Amino acid sequence: MREQATRFFDGVLYSEHRLSMLILGVDPGLRATGFALVEGNLQGVRLVEQGVIRSPEDAPLASRLYVIHSALTHLLVRTRPAQMAVEDLYAAQRFPRTAILMGHVRGVVCLAAAEEGVEVSPLPPAAVKQAIAGFGGASKAQIQRSVQRLLRVSGTVDPHAADAMAMALTAASRRGIRLQPRRAGSPAGAWAGRAAASGEQP
């Protein structure tokens, strides 16, 4: 059988029929770091994997950051996304300590991506709300309902994982991928992310 003509450029596998891309959304948090791996192509978007990385609350800060970094690194190596999307830093004047701790976690998240050669896309919170719910003042509940509808996820979803889904979807939208549920039975497409460059298949 004749092989499809393909070329790899900027984290996306282009073929004669379609393009496909894996994007990892991450919602950094010291207690719980949400993640969501989303695949987008010409047929729309689908959720590949989602979950939460939790660190022991009674452990020292350095140990908790190590747990998050190690788990995220393992996830990056296993899934090999083309891009990681995280929320951009913003000032939290009412809760300065929370903002500082968030900065620590975001730092190890970005470090893990850099170590694995994954591009990091920082996204302003208002831009994520606009892309997912249609307006920049959307509530967390509205965002969660929107991502579950777009990715056809039923049941209860951890809020941190839902935020990570929103990050991944927004990044996909910025890459020109339409935010619509992939049709049932549509082909998954050629494998995406950096794995395509090396001929690997997840």
Encode pLDDT of 121-171 as tens digits: 999 988 999 999 888 788 888 999 999 999 999 888 999 999 999 999 999
Q: Are 46 and 39 contacting, i.e. CB atoms less than 8 angstroms apart? A: yes
> What six digits make up the tokens of 175?
């890459």
Give dist(CA 38, CA 107) in Å, integer. 22
Alpha helices in the chain (DSSP H): 61-79, 96-115, 125-133, 140-150, 159-174
Q: Tell me the range of 71-75, 87-91, 176-180 where mean pLDDT is highest.
A: 71-75
The β-bridge relationship of strands 7-9 and 12-14 is antiparallel
Q: pTM above the 0.85 mark?
A: no
Coil, helix or strand at residue 131: helix
Distance of CA 1 to the CA centre of its chain: 35
Q: Are 82 and 193 contacting, i.e. CB atoms less than 8 angstroms apart? A: yes
- Residue spans per domain, the chain: 7-176
Give the pLDDT confidence score for residue 9 in this predicted structure. Answer: 40
Classify domain 7-176 by CATH number.
Answer: 3.30.420.10
> What six digits make up the tokens of 172?
């996909």
